[in-house]
């Protein structure tokens, strides 16, 4: 077993993990933050995207021990109390979700995009979201949501 310590959504946390524990398992099973989803076992769907030291990563493709000492933000860390983050609000306004399974990863990925490219074109949004798969919406309203958030 190994001890890992990190900051998750602004709070210091630590836990005992096996070296083979994935970051997403640590987040969901030990911290009980179940907003981060797992949609595949091939690192391709993006349902598990969180931020590690400010960059979006697939938490199913990183070991908890690799995140030791880092600053992690999950979907639960975005809203400010009852006030949704502008990206969450934009997904709601634009019907950017149906079943909602892909949504936490989509939102976390889109927030990273706007940090690096505050005014993306439609093409840049679609290209950036290549690692996030949605089986419901057809992506159109997701792209509209990101465009609205970029205006906010």
Ligand X SMILES: Cc1cc2nc3c(=O)[nH]c(=O)nc-3n(C[C@H](O)[C@H](O)[C@H](O)COP(=O)(O)OP(=O)(O)OC[C@H]3O[C@@H](n4cnc5c(N)ncnc54)[C@H](O)[C@@H]3O)c2cc1C
Residue 14 vs 34, nearer CB to ligand FES: 34
x-or-dash string of contact with ligand FES, 116-135, rule CB under 6 A: ------------------xx
Residue 19, interface with ligand X (CB under 6 A)?
A: no
x-or-dash string of contact with ligand FES, 73-112, rule CB under 6 A: ------------------------xxxxxxx---------
**Contact by Cβ (8 Å): 63, 23:** yes
Strands 49-52 and 11-17, bridge-based pairing: unpaired
Q: CB-based burial of residue 110 (10 Å sphere; 0-12 exposed, 13-18 middle, 19+ buried)?
A: buried
| Cα→Cα distances 27→78, 92, 125, 144, Å | 15, 25, 27, 30
Q: Which residues bind other proteins (CB under 8 A)?
A: 2, 18-20, 22, 41-44, 46, 49, 55-58, 61-63, 65-66, 68, 109, 112-113, 128, 130-132
Q: What is the Cβ-side half-sphere exposure of residue 84, based on CA atoms within 13 angstroms?
A: 13
Residue 41 vs 82, nearer CB to other proteins: 41
Residue 43, interface with ligand X (CB under 6 A)?
A: yes
> What are the structure tokens assigned to 139, written together?
């992506």
Which residues contact ligand FES (rule: CB under 6 A)?
38-40, 43-48, 58, 60, 97-103, 134-137
């Amino acid at each position: 077993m190994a001890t890992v310590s990190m900051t998750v959504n602004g709070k210091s946390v630590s836990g005992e993990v096996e070296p083979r524990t994935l970051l997403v398992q640590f987040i969901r099973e030990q911290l009980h933050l179940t907003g981060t989803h797992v949609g595949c076992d091939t690192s391709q769907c993006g349902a598990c995207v969180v931020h590690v030291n400010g960059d979006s990563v697939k938490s199913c493709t990183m070991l908890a021990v690799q995140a030791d000492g880092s600053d992690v933000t999950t979907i639960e860390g975005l809203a400010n109390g009852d006030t949704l983050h502008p990206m969450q609000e934009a997904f709601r306004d634009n019907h950017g979700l149906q079943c909602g399974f892909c949504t936490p990863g989509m939102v976390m990925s889109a927030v990273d995009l706007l940090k690096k490219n505050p005014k993306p074109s439609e093409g840049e949004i679609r290209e950036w979201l290549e690692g996030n798969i949605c089986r419901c919406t057809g992506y159109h309203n997701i792209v509209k949501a990101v465009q609205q958030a970029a205006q906010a």
